[in-house]
């Protein structure tokens, strides 16, 4: 336990000194939030509320990018070798990395909620307890994906390439950037195999539903993320390397596919019953109805305003 606490504290210090980790875990999340709230939602409170779930998901998913890049950089620079000299096990290093990543990213999520509430005047944030549990499960599960990536790649270039190959489908097919219902039916069915889809959907249900979804209503999302976390953490602990000279074979990189088992099974089930697709349509319908109601109310208020007489007086 002492090793874990000490390692976590040291990992947090190293992470804050690492420019790449600091950018992907701190700067980029705040920038994405203001892009969604200020540009896409045009600072409209209800629009910000609708995009808050995708914005939070976008930032939570980014935890794997910064964590994987930081670990590979530490290995190339020989920093992990110094840790290995101490009585530190692979699990200690991996768990402390996840814990440090969580402690650094959770305040960003809290800050975004505070900004949404008091800067953009979002009337209701939904079920905050569900949001916290989703953020926790998302940060540790996607962070553990970063551990796998750092374990199966040999250089920083390989890490960046693999991050890109995983990142683009996660953000474009899950509903984090493009509304899920705007995707074609074929793409929607493919997206049901991605973990990001369920994270985005869980945040939307926790924020947009009336009443907001409670944790017990999101048991499938939590269950799949936890199972994914256990698989990725176990796999990364088996193939983790301390030394930059230690290389991993190409066949071992295929182990990453094994971590997709929980969401492969969940995707098969969802493609059969279509629960997520139906709920996404309901969320979009409620947003459209609320948007129309606000427009009508605004028109009534404008029509009810008294007309001001002209300041010009007729000439005598």
pTM check: above 0.95: no
**C-alpha span between 39 and 55 (Å, rounded):** 12
CA distance 127 to 212: 6
- Residue 203: which pLDDT band, with cuts at 50, 70 and 90? very high
* Average confidence (pLDDT) over 247-266: 77
Read out DSSP for 153-212?
A: -SSHHHHHHHHHHHHHHHHHHSSSSS-GGGS-HHHHHHHTT-HHHHHHHHHHHHHHSSSP
What is the mean pLDDT of the segment spanning 291-304?
69
The answer, yes or no, to whether residue 193 has pLDDT greater than 90, is yes
255-269 core/surface letters (b: 16 or more CB in 10 A; e: else): bbeebbebbeebbee
How confident is residue 26, by pLDDT bands cut at 50, 70 and 90?
confident
The distance of Cα 217 from the centroid of its chain, to the nearest Å, equals 20
Q: How many CA atoms lie within 13 A of 283 on its CB side?
A: 30
Cα-based torsion angle of the residue sequence 215, 220, 225, 227 in order, rounded to the nearest 10 degrees? 120
Report pLDDT digits (tens) over 40-82: 988 899 889 999 999 999 889 888 888 888 888 888 888 888 8
308 pLDDT tier (thresholds 50, 70, 90): low
pLDDT digits (tens, 9 = 90+) for 98-148: 998 899 889 999 999 999 999 999 988 999 999 999 999 999 999 999 998
Q: Residue 153 — very low, low, confident or very high, per pLDDT cuts 50/70/90?
A: confident
Average pLDDT taken over every residue of the chain: 85
Q: What is the CB neighbour count within 10 angstroms for residue 146?
A: 28
**What confidence tens digit (pLDDT) does each residue in 164-192 have?**
888 888 989 998 998 898 999 999 999 99
Under the banding of pLDDT at 50, 70 and 90, the label for residue 198 is very high
Would you state the pLDDT for residue 259? 81
Q: Which pLDDT value is given to residue 312?
A: 47
Residue-wise pLDDT tens digits, 71-91: 888 888 888 888 777 777 888
- What are the extents of the domains in the chain? 2-294
Instruction: Tell me how far apart the alpha carbons of residues 229 and 130 are, in angstroms, rounded to a whole number.
Output: 18
């Amino acid at each position: 336990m002492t090793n874990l606490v000490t390692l976590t504290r040291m990992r947090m210090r190293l992470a804050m000194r690492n420019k790449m980790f600091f950018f992907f875990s701190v700067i980029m999340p705040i920038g994405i939030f203001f892009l969604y709230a200020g540009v896409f939602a045009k600072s409209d409170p209800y629009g910000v509320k609708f995009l808050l779930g995708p914005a939070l998901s976008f930032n939570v998913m980014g935890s794997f990018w910064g964590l994987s890049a930081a670990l590979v950089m530490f290995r190339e620079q020989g920093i992990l070798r110094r840790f290995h000299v101490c009585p530190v096990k692979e699990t200690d290093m991996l768990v402390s990395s996840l814990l440090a990543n969580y402690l650094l990213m959770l305040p960003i999520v809290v800050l975004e909620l505070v900004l949404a509430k008091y800067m953009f005047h979002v009337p209701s944030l939904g079920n905050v307890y569900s949001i916290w549990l989703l953020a926790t499960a998302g940060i540790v599960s996607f962070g553990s994906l970063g551990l796998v990536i750092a374990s199966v790649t040999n250089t920083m270039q390989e890490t960046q390439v693999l991050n890109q190959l995983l990142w683009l489908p996660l953000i474009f097919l899950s509903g984090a950037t493009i509304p899920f219902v705007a995707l074609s039916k074929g793409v929607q069915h493919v997206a049901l195999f991605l973990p990001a889809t369920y994270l985005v959907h869980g945040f939307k249900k926790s924020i947009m539903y009336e009443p907001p979804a409670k944790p017990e209503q999101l048991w499938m999302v939590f269950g799949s993320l936890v199972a994914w976390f256990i698989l990725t953490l176990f796999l990364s602990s088996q193939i983790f390397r301390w030394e930059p000279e230690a290389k991993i074979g190409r066949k071992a990189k295929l182990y990453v596919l094994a971590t997709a088992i929980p969401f492969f099974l969940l995707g098969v089930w969802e493609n059969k019953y279509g629960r997520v697709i139906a709920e996404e349509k309901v969320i979009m319908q409620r947003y459209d109805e609320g948007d129309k109601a606000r427009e009508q109310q605004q028109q009534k208020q404008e029509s009810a305003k008294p007309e001001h007489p002209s300041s010009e007086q007729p000439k005598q």
